[in-house]
Amino acid sequence: MDLNIFRKISDSIKRAENREFLVELKNSIDKNEVPILDKIENENKLSIGTKNKIENEFDNILLEYSKETEEKGPLVYIVEKKDNECIAYEYENGTDSVIRINENNLPLNASVNSALRKENEKYLLDEEASLEIKNRITDMAKDLIEKQNEELEEYRKEGHLYRVSERINDSVFLWDITDKSNFEIEEVDFPEELLDKAIEGTVFEYIDEKYRLKWYVIIILKELRGILDKWID
């Protein structure tokens, strides 16, 4: 009996199983791919200003890194996946462009947040670049978030009154009327139970490291306006 036949059959089965495993692994990774900026935003409370700064620095990091490593060829960074396509930024000669890549043209282990190099019309995964870019973006975001939180802590003062100047979604812009500050701040950690009352003109007091409703000014103003309108009529 030729045992080589069984060995060949066994090897074929193993190769098929390995391919199936790799495909399953890739599909599993694809389902859990989260763009690094989305991950940062989901895990932190960011002001609109901080979010914009992070996005701008993200672009700068990619551009600068592409210049630093231009001897390795154009840098391609995958930022999003939609259906069977990946949306990526391509950096070459100090300029950037948005491109779409069919997933069939990508290396098996490439995913969102991967850095690629193009060689002979083929995309190759650059693991070193992927890790370095991830570290730079993570460190940058950490610094900006720490700065945001430090500024918020300085602005929050025990016993001070804060008037709402504007509200955008869950972000509340406050002006310190006790200090009569020359600038307002975007409070990203405002109590959820008070959000419906955080409308322009309302005043809150900061007591025991919490905002508490002080004057529901907007209602008073509306009532006064109604009284004045009646007098004028």
Do both 129 and 45 map to the same domain? yes
Q: Distance from first CA to last CA of the chain, Å, rounded?
A: 111
Query: Considering 103, 134, 150, which residue would you say is the last residue of a domain?
Result: 150
Do both 39 and 142 map to the same domain? yes
Do both 106 and 179 map to the same domain? no
pLDDT tens for each residue of 163-208: 999 998 888 999 999 998 888 999 999 999 999 999 999 999 999 9
**What range defines the domain where residue 121 resides?**
32-150
**pTM score over 0.85:** no
pLDDT band at 56 (very low <50, low <70, confident <90, very high): very high
Residue 97, H or E segment: strand 95-102
Do both 186 and 228 map to the same domain? yes
Do both 200 and 123 map to the same domain? no
pLDDT at 1: 46
The contacts of residue 111 (CB under 8 Å, 6+ apart) are 29, 30, 33, 78, 81
Residue 166, domain member (yes or no): yes
Residue 13, domain member (yes or no): no
**Count: domains in the chain:** 2
Do both 223 and 135 map to the same domain? no
**pLDDT-above-70 percentage for the chain:** 79
pLDDT at 3: 45
Do both 131 and 165 map to the same domain? no
pLDDT at 29: 42
The angle formed by the CA atoms of residues 155, 161 and 167, to the nearest 5 degrees, is 75
Do both 118 and 189 map to the same domain? no
Report H helices in the chain: 3-31, 36-43, 48-68, 127-155, 217-232
Structural contact between residues 221 and 163, judged by C-beta atoms closer than 8 angstroms: no
Distance (Å, rounded) from C-alpha 218 to C-alpha 201?
Answer: 5
pLDDT exceeds cutoff 60 at 2:
no
Average pLDDT over every residue of 106-125 = 92
Do both 161 and 133 map to the same domain? no
For 25, the token pair is 């692994």
pLDDT band at 216 (very low <50, low <70, confident <90, very high): low
Question: Which CATH number covers residue 194?
Answer: 2.40.50
Query: Considering 150, 178, 194, which residue would you say is the last residue of a domain?
Result: 150
Residue 2, domain member (yes or no): no
Structural contact between residues 150 and 138, judged by C-beta atoms closer than 8 angstroms: no
φ, ψ for residue 229, nearest 5 deg: -60, -40
Integer-rounded Cα Rg, in Å, for the chain is 27
Pairing of strands 203-207, 161-168: antiparallel
Do both 98 and 80 map to the same domain? yes
User: Higher-confidence residue: 151 or 215?
Assistant: 151
For 141, the token pair is 């975001």
Residue 16, domain member (yes or no): no
Do both 107 and 137 map to the same domain? yes
Query: Considering 150, 178, 211, which residue would you say is the last residue of a domain?
Result: 150
pLDDT at 25: 43
pLDDT band at 120 (very low <50, low <70, confident <90, very high): confident
pLDDT tens for each residue of 17-45: 555 544 444 444 444 589 999 999 999 99
Cα separation values, 98 from 34, 89, 155, Å: 18, 5, 40
Do both 135 and 65 map to the same domain? yes
**pLDDT-above-90 percentage for the chain:** 67
Structural contact between residues 54 and 141, judged by C-beta atoms closer than 8 angstroms: yes
